[in-house]
Amino acid sequence: MENLNEKKGIPLLGDNFPEMKVQTTHGQVNLPGDYKGKWFVLFSHPADFTPVCTTEFVAFQQRYDKFRALNCELIGLSVDQVFAHIKWEEWIKENMDVKIEFPIIADTGKVAETLGLIHPGKGTNTVRAVFVVDPKGKIRIMLYYPQELGRNMDEILRIVEGMQVSDEEGVAMPANWPANEILGDRVIIPPATSVKMANERLEKAEKGEFKCYDWWLCHKER
């Protein structure tokens, strides 16, 4: 692996994903360049041949078609050799009848160091981190879990879809979207930033273009 940026530690939302060349179970991959024009989810796991990680990989694979339908690829990562990844994939196929189709990065520790994935007090194992990266190579979402808690893959699917809707339509999503307790699957129009805009919002609501609880809380169907 080479060409890592000098910056170390947890990156910030909106940062460019660090450029790096990594060895994976599918050969060498250039990040984020090889995924230009696509979203991708890079997720780290503590180690191969561990119980929680195994359930996570099965869950990710079972939703892989849904991620690809969102123009989104998956990339796994742990500080294990590529040979361990391959044998683990074989074990999952033989024992769980699930074939892992996405690549897994074989990290020497440099990727984990660059992205801030090493969990203090846990040796060289990585945390369960998730990076959602957009087609321009920008980090849009980051999630960090302790080793003891497996991730919810449906939530990761939800946030990828939600960010895509936000980008395409210039809207925000309410809590638990698309099953919000108040608005259902409706989306929120960003709050007005001037008196004129606030009045325009209320006028449009009166015309039925969207609905408002007040000038600062307006929503519409997609």
Is the pLDDT at 7 greater than 70, yes or no? no
Distance CA 141, CA 13 (A): 6
Q: What is the CATH number of domain 171-222?
A: 3.30.1020.10
**What is residue 7's three-state secondary structure?**
coil
Which residue, 186, 196, 195, is CA-closest to 218? 186
CATH of 20-169, one of 3.40.30.10, 3.90.226.10, 2.60.40.10, 3.30.720.200: 3.40.30.10
For the residues of 106-158, what is the DSSP string, one character each?
E--SHHHHHHT-BPTTSTTPBPEEEEEE-TTSBEEEEEEE-TTS---HHHHHH
Q: Is residue 78 scored above 70 in pLDDT?
A: yes
Q: Are 30 and 75 in contact (CB under 8 A)?
A: no
DSSP 20-61: EEEEEBTEEEEETGGGTTSEEEEEE-S-SS-HHHHHHHHHHH
Find where tokens 């919000």 sit.
Answer: 180
pTM of the predicted structure, to 2 decimals: 0.89
Whole-angstrom distance, CA of residue 23 vs CA of residue 216: 49
Structure tokens at 48: 């191969």
Report how far apart the first and last C-alpha atoms of the chain are (Å, whole number): 43
**Which residues are CB-contacts of 156 (< 8 A; sequence separation ≥ 6)?**
41, 43, 130, 132, 143
- Of residues 189 and 9, which shows the higher confidence score? 189
Tell me which residues are annotated as active site: 53
Q: How far apart are CA 156 and CA 192, in angstroms?
A: 30
pLDDT at 117 over 90: no
Q: Is the pLDDT of residue 173 over 80?
A: yes
Average pLDDT over all residues of the chain: 91
With a CB cutoff of 8 Å and minimum separation 6, the contacts of 42 are 17, 31, 75, 76, 77, 105, 130, 131, 133
Flag whether pLDDT at 69 surpasses 90: yes
pLDDT, tens only, 142-157 = 999 888 899 999 999 9
What is the rounded average pLDDT of the residues 129-141? 97
Of the two residues 10 and 92, the one the predictor is more confident about is: 92
Range with lowest mean pLDDT among 60-69, 73-82, 196-205: 196-205
Q: Is 164 helix (H, G, I), strand (E, B) or coil?
A: helix
Domain positions in the chain are 20-169, 171-222
User: Is residue 168 over pLDDT 50?
Assistant: yes
**Mean per-residue pLDDT for 9-15?**
87
